[in-house]
A and B are shown apart, each in its own frame.
Chain A
Amino acid sequence: MQESPMKNNLKVNRIIKGYSQEQLAQLAGVSRQTIHALEAGKYVPSTTLSLKLSLILGQKTEDLFELEERDWQ
C-alpha cells in the first residue's frame, strides 16, 4: 500500500527488549498485523503510534525511524 515505506529499527529494538510482536502490539494498542507491517516496512505509523512505540521500547523516535534520501523526493 505504501509506495516508499520508511526505514525503521523496530524489530531490532523489540528483540533487544525481549517483546514478541503480540506483546508489543498489546502494549501499543494495535494488532499484531500492524506490528508486522511496520517491521516489514509496509506501513508508516502515525505520530501517536510512533511516540507510543518509542516510549515502550525506550528509544527516541528518530532512533526507531529513519528518513532516507527517497523520502525527500
Chain B
Amino acid sequence: MYKIPLLPGYFRWIGASLLLFTILLYLFDSQRRGIPFNMRTFVLVNETPFQETSILSMSEVDITLTVLLLSLLLGLAFITFARKKVEDEMMNTLRLYAWSWSIIFIMAANLIVTVLVFGIPFASFAILFPHALLVCHLAIFHISLRRLNAGVSYEK
C-alpha cells in the first residue's frame, strides 16, 4: 500500500566501501596523533576554541572529524536503505519491526546518556546517535530475517 523509498541494490557495496574508507581514515588519523587537516570551506557556524567565531562565511577548519562522521553515516545509510534482491511485504514488515525497536533502544540509550554522562564524553555519545540508530536497525533487521529463514533449504 505504502511504498518505502529505497536505493538500488548496488548502494550496499558503495556503503561497504565508505565504511572501509572510514576505518582506514580513522587508523591513518590515529597514526598522525591528531594533527589537524585544515581546509578552507563555507561554514554556517564555526566556534572552534582559540579561533575567531565565523557565521555564514568562508573559514579555515579541521575537516578530519567531519569526513569521518559523514563517511560513516553515509556508509551505514547506504547499506540500510539499499534494496534487497526481492522486496516484498515480509521485508517491509521486518523493516518496520526493526525501525520500531531500534528507535526504542536509541531513545533508552539517549535517556541514560543524557542523565548519566556529562562533559566531553556526552558530546562524543551524542554525535554518534544517528550512526547507532542505523547500526541497531541493521542488527535487528538481519537477526529477524535470519530467524525467519531458519531451516530454509532448497526444495525442488
Contacts and interface: CB of A to CB of B under 8 A. Distances in A.
Interface in B85-118: 85-86, 88-91, 93-94, 97
Contacts of B120: none
B148 interface: yes
A16 interface: no
A49 B147 CA distance: 21
Interface residues of A, number: 19
A34 B88 contact: yes
B156 interface: yes
A5 B144 CA distance: 15
Given A22-B155, A43-B93, A1 B147 contact: yes
A32 interface: yes
Given A1-B144, A20-B155, A21-B155, A30 B89 contact: yes
Given A1-B97, A1-B144, A20-B156, A33 B151 contact: no
Interface residues of B, number: 18
A30 to B, nearest CB: 4
Contacts, number: 47
Given A21-B155, A22-B155, A45 B148 contact: no
Interface in A12-42: 20-22, 29-34, 36-37, 40, 42
Contact of A1 (B85, B86, B148, B156): B148
Contacts of B156: 20
Interface string B121-153: 000000000000000000000001101110110
- In the A-B complex, the 10 residue pairs with the smallest Cβ-Cβ separation, listed nearest first, are A31-B86, A30-B88, A34-B90, A37-B148, A36-B152, A33-B149, A21-B155, A46-B89, A42-B148, A34-B88
